[in-house]
């Protein structure tokens, strides 16, 4: 083994360790966030329930023989079917915008939008999986499954997600019918793919929530003077001589974009909210949870 190979192996290992290193904290943080919520409004839900059992009902003609719970039926004359309504609960598919624009944080004290999105997504996943739901990522990388192992898979997938383009379009093709979806994105790119995705979701009866994650600077536009603005990947570029002049018009466009997204969501039966990275993640988590819980 020559020196170059040694070097490569060492680099790989250190990279792997750095990657795996961020995983437990993210999961831990997400669990912490989720626990805060469970302790509150939903704490009692789990008490005494234990597993996926919902109820026994009398078997009716048409029930498959193997659906009959013989242990229960043996204690009486009638046949009972063990209903697994809870277990057949929703699949939730989460899409996190992997665009490089999500890597933006205006101040060192603020998290990147991507990090906040991962945190929220994983915390929701913790909540949902504890509630027995199946959670997966949109697209075909990680289909919805339940169980705590899924949490590890999720966090691994989230941490591993690599950004390529400046702005990414949502993938709606793999949406399961009648599932639920959670989209986390800054929605600053072209809205057309989003519109298409929401259309597909509506067609398939998928309901969900769209969270627009914005950095405070993106809302305030506190710039002045001659400035060249570049997107995070450097593909888009805009030069202005008086950035201060643009502020009003930029803010107008942001408001337009929010209005557009709100309209799209309303049309598709989705919930829409705007979250800022300097705001509390727990409050947002509560909103998301309620939004996904709605009509369940």
- For another protein, which stretch binds (CB under 8 A), given 20-28, 143-151, 153-161, 240-248? 240-248
Cβ-contact 171, 139 below 8 angstroms:
yes
CA-to-CA distance for 163 and 169, rounded, in angstroms? 12
- For another protein, which stretch binds (CB under 8 A), given 48-56, 122-130, 156-164, 215-223? 215-223
Coil/strand/helix, residue 282: helix
Query: Using the rule CB under 8 A, is 224 a contact of another protein?
Result: yes
CA-to-CA distance for 185 and 30, rounded, in angstroms? 18
Pairing of strands 91-96, 180-185: parallel
Query: Using the rule CB under 8 A, is 216 a contact of another protein?
Result: no
Query: Using the rule CB under 8 A, is 253 a contact of another protein?
Result: yes
Q: Which is nearer to another protein, 90 or 101 (CB)?
A: 101
Q: Which is nearer to another protein, 70 or 229 (CB)?
A: 229
Alpha helices in 75-142 (DSSP H): 113-130
Query: Using the rule CB under 8 A, is 237 a contact of another protein?
Result: yes
CA-to-CA distance for 282 and 149, rounded, in angstroms? 24
Q: Which is nearer to another protein, 81 or 213 (CB)?
A: 213
Q: Please, which of residues 166-205 interact with another protein by CB under 8 A?
A: 166-167, 186, 188-190
Q: Name the minimum Å distance from CB 231 to another protein.
A: 5
The burial of 191, by beta-carbon neighbours within 10 Å (0-12 exposed, 13-18 middle, 19 or more buried), is given as middle
The burial of 132, by beta-carbon neighbours within 10 Å (0-12 exposed, 13-18 middle, 19 or more buried), is given as middle
Query: Using the rule CB under 8 A, is 53 a contact of another protein?
Result: no
Q: Name the minimum Å distance from CB 194 to another protein.
A: 13
- For another protein, which stretch binds (CB under 8 A), given 5-13, 38-46, 63-71, 234-242? 234-242
Q: Which of 53, 56, 86, 223 is in the footprint of another protein by CB under 8 A?
A: 223
Q: Which is nearer to another protein, 156 or 232 (CB)?
A: 232
Determine the angle formed by the axes of helices 113-130 and 148-160, rounding to 10 degrees. 170
Query: Using the rule CB under 8 A, is 104 a contact of another protein?
Result: yes
Query: Using the rule CB under 8 A, is 215 a contact of another protein?
Result: yes
Residue indicated by tokens 């998301």: 288
């Amino acid at each position: 083994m020559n020196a170059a190979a040694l070097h490569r192996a060492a680099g790989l290992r250190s990279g792997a360790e750095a990657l795996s290193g961020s995983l437990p904290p993210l999961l831990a943080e997400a669990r912490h966030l989720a626990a805060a919520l469970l302790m509150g409004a939903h704490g009692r839900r789990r008490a005494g329930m234990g597993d996926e059992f919902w109820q026994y009902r009398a078997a009716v003609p048409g029930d498959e023989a193997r659906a009959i719970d013989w242990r229960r039926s043996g204690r009486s004359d009638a046949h009972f079917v063990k209903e697994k309504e809870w277990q057949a609960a929703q699949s939730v598919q989460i899409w996190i915008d992997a665009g490089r624009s999500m890597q933006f944080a205006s101040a060192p004290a603020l998290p990147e939008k991507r990090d906040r999105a991962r945190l929220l997504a994983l915390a929701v996943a913790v909540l949902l999986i504890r509630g027995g739901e199946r959670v997966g990522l949109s697209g075909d990388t990680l289909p919805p499954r339940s169980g705590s192992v899924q949490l590890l898979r999720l966090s691994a997938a989230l941490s591993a997600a690599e950004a390529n383009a400046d702005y990414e379009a949502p993938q709606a093709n793999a949406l399961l019918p009648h599932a639920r979806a959670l989209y986390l994105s800054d929605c600053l790119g072209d809205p057309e793919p989003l519109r298409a995705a929401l259309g597909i979701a509506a067609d398939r009866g998928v309901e969900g929530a769209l969270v627009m994650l914005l950095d405070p600077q993106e809302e305030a536009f506190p710039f002045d003077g001659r400035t060249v603005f570049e997107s995070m990947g450097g593909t888009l570029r805009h030069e202005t001589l008086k950035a201060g002049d643009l502020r009003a018009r930029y803010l107008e466009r942001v408001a337009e974009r929010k209005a557009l997204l709100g309209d799209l969501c309303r049309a598709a039966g989705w919930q829409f909210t705007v979250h800022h990275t300097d705001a509390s993640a727990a409050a947002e988590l509560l909103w998301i949870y309620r939004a996904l819980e709605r009509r369940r």
